[in-house]
Amino acid sequence: MLKNNLELDIKVKAVQAQMTQAKLASAIGITPSYANRLIKNNENLVNKTFVKILETLGYDILLTYVKRDDELSSKAA
């Protein structure tokens, strides 16, 4: 089972970054309505097979978010 509330996590991180959902969608090349559907439906964000494999092995999933260093972010761009 995925323990994170991805919808809440994404919304909080977007607010922290002062980015609207529409701006986020544009930045990753999708429509705002598609971004909304993805964010509201955790199953589309995390691969179901990955979750099933780990559940079968007796694990739950807890994602941890680590803010990237600005220097690393600019190199990736």
User: What pLDDT is attached to residue 44?
Assistant: 75
Amino acid at 52: K
- The CA-based diameter of the chain, rounded to the nearest angstrom, is 39
- Decide: pTM greater than 0.85: no
- Where the chain has pLDDT below 50, the residues are none
Alpha helices in the chain (DSSP H): 6-16, 21-28, 32-40, 42-45, 48-56, 70-76
Tell me phi and psi for residue 30, to 5 degrees. -130, 165
CB 12 within 8 Å of CB 71: no
Amino acid at 47: N
